[in-house]
Structure 1
Amino acid sequence: MFPLKKDMREDYHEFLEIHFFTPSDFEKTGNVWPIRLGTNIAKSNYHIGPRTTPYYYLIFVLEGAGTFTQNHVTYHLGKNDMFCLLPGVTHEYFTEEDHLLQKIFVAFDGKQALHLLERIGLSPQSPYRKGGLTDETNKLMWEFMNLVRDERQASDLSRLAQFYQIFDKLSIAYHSLSTQENRSLSWLQQGLDYIQIHYAEGITVERVSAYVGVERTHFTKQFKKVYGVPPMQYMQDLKMNEAKHLLVQTDYTLTEIANSVGYPDLFSFSKAFKKHLGVPPTQYRRDQAMT
């Protein structure tokens, strides 16, 4: 068992050190911000839940063993595992009496909190990763603890910097571990993903085929065979669907919309739009406003 820190308080089922943060106005203008940070050493009767939390909790197992249940799925916890509590979802976890859990955790919130979790390989469908805690991440978590113990140094910027550094290292470790899985993705799926992400950036079929390492003609032929349309038409459909959305849901000018969906000027956008839908974008916006 880790030696008890002077900042730890004894509870009926654990020893706990926890620091609470009130996000600054600056933090709340961002996508994600930390809410609390802590570490604990379980007693033999340690049992949390069933309960819910209003925030996301990323928890790392430092020592010991236990059980974690969320969304009616149960996971066995061991050293260096990580798991996440999801807001509004009932969870429960407890320790094994002979292998008491010791954990370190950070809670966070924000409109992009779930996306940040996905960057490190966690999701509502998969809230647990075996061996997710690396030595480097462990070190960064304890540096975070030391930072917030000194309130004079724990500014909102320093909290955010440390918080994002932790997720950056976790993301790098996750993508390194999943390299083999990524290799199993077909080059066709990689091409589709690339188009869906970058279609509005003026990419060409040549660029996509080069990205996946396949000759352009072969890429086009196989793409059409699997997805039903050539890649150029697929990109065009994505652009037009986004253009229709912007025409109806925003007050953007036609030039702004043209630039947003990857056209170099208004003329080429209007020509493509009319060819695709049979009416110019101005008429489409006017017709939709009347319906």
Structure 2
Amino acid sequence: MPVTKREDHQEKLEIAFFTPSGYELASPAWPIRIGRNRTKEGYRIGPRTTPFHYLIAVAEGEGEFLQGGGRYRLGPGDLFALFPETIHEYYASPDNRLQQLILAFDGPEAAALLERGGLTPERPHRSGLSAGELMRCLDRFLEEADGEPSDLARLARFHEAMALLAEASPGAGRRPAEEGWLRQARDYIDLHYAGGITVSGAADHVGIDRTHFSKRFREAYGVTPIRYIQGLKLAEAERLLGHTSLTLSEIAYSVGYPDLFSFSKAFKKHKGRSPSECRSKAAGPD
């Protein structure tokens, strides 16, 4: 729906409410509302809870925010988050009233998006960030909402805001716990093994030193990363040999080898027979 403008004794508010489409509801997270306010004397929210996750950016003014037993001073450039079913309260300084940008969203990965920006239930406030581009993005989001954008346009702007949140919080959520980065690395290899990826590339993807990455990968999965990548390539090659009519060169390129010679050499070394012999055996007797 278009942006609604309203004013009461506490604030001047511009806000757009979204009804998520089926496509949005199938996404990890989706926007619920986007708004901008300028507070008046006596502005105070709460104590209360919310069913959604909120990202609130302070454009101007000062105030105070309370949530989860913590108390935080608010100032220009600060970001703070509201979490579902958690009592929160915030208010403006009587001498320096707040102007805020407000994004509400929901979804199974909503909390994870805030965490990537360094905002968690234990630490719901951040200051001293370079959040100017994020605020400009939220402003654009509100302006575009007046034109009733499509669900894809809403998601695109929402994802841009979440990416800028992460970029505004260097180091926050960038290095996952060990079990997390190991799983993430394996998933990355499983998906991209045929695309010419390297062990160094996989280590860089999860932000871990290559030597430590290789050591921990082998301890966790019983095989070195390079052997794991090679195993995936050769297993797929064996499947293609038995179930398709692709030529040997086409199979070599399809699973990530640069040429037929290196593919045939690796295949015979690890499978004990050449690709041609493997295909003949799979075909069975004439």
TM-score class, shorter: 0.5 to 0.7
Q: Return the match for 2:164 from 169, 178, 189.
A: 169
| Structure 1 equivalent of residue 10 of structure 2 | 13
Letter in 2 for 1:197: Q
| Structure 2 equivalent of residue 92 of structure 1 | 89
Cα deviation for residue 124 of structure 1 reads 1.3
TM-score by length of 2: 0.66
Deviations 1:129-181 (A, max 9, x none): 10346221121111111101122xx1111111111111112222323xx39x9
Q: Measure the CA separation in 2 of the matches of 1:190 and 1:32.
A: 22
Determine if contact 1:81/1:131 at 8 Å carries over to the other structure: yes
The alignment's C-alpha RMSD in Å is: 3.7
Cα deviation for residue 262 of structure 1 reads 6.9
| Structure 2 equivalent of residue 195 of structure 1 | 182
Seen in structure 2, the aligned counterparts of structure 1 residues 8 and 89 have a Cα distance that, compared at 3 Å, is same
Cα deviation for residue 123 of structure 1 reads 1.2
Alignment of 1:1-291 (within 5 A): 8-132=5-129, 134-151=131-148, 154-175=149-170, 178=171, 194-199=181-186, 201=189, 212-213=208-209, 220=215, 232-236=218-222, 265=235
Secondary structure at the counterpart of residue 169 of structure 2 = helix
Q: Measure the CA separation in 2 of the matches of 1:121 and 1:102.
A: 22
Secondary structure at the counterpart of residue 12 of structure 2 = strand
Cα deviation for residue 8 of structure 1 reads 3.3
Determine if contact 1:82/1:133 at 8 Å carries over to the other structure: no
Q: Measure the CA separation in 2 of the matches of 1:208 and 1:232.
A: 16
Seen in structure 2, the aligned counterparts of structure 1 residues 55 and 190 have a Cα distance that, compared at 3 Å, is closer
Determine if contact 2:4/2:16 at 8 Å carries over to the other structure: no
- The count of aligned residue pairs is 221
Secondary structure at the counterpart of residue 107 of structure 1 = strand
Seen in structure 2, the aligned counterparts of structure 1 residues 210 and 120 have a Cα distance that, compared at 3 Å, is closer
Secondary structure at the counterpart of residue 145 of structure 2 = helix
Letter in 2 for 1:142: D
Q: Which has the larger Rg?
A: 2
Unpaired runs of at least 5, structure 1: 1-5, 224-230, 238-258, 267-291
Determine if contact 1:191/1:208 at 8 Å carries over to the other structure: no
TM-score by length of 1: 0.65
Determine if contact 1:51/1:90 at 8 Å carries over to the other structure: yes
Letter in 2 for 1:233: E
Q: Measure the CA separation in 2 of the matches of 1:96 and 1:147.
A: 31
Give the stretch that moved more between structures: 113-122 or 61-70. 113-122
Q: Measure the CA separation in 1 of the matches of 2:60 and 2:129.
A: 13
Deviations 1:5-30 (A, max 9, x none): x9632112111111111111111111
Letter in 1 for 2:32: I
Q: Measure the CA separation in 2 of the matches of 1:137 and 1:210.
A: 29
Q: Measure the CA separation in 2 of the matches of 1:133 and 1:55.
A: 25
Q: Measure the CA separation in 2 of the matches of 1:40 and 1:209.
A: 44
Q: Measure the CA separation in 2 of the matches of 1:191 and 1:124.
A: 22
Unpaired runs of at least 5, structure 2: 194-198, 224-228, 237-286
Q: Measure the CA separation in 1 of the matches of 2:14 and 2:124.
A: 24
| Structure 1 equivalent of residue 281 of structure 2 | none
Cα deviation for residue 235 of structure 1 reads 2.6
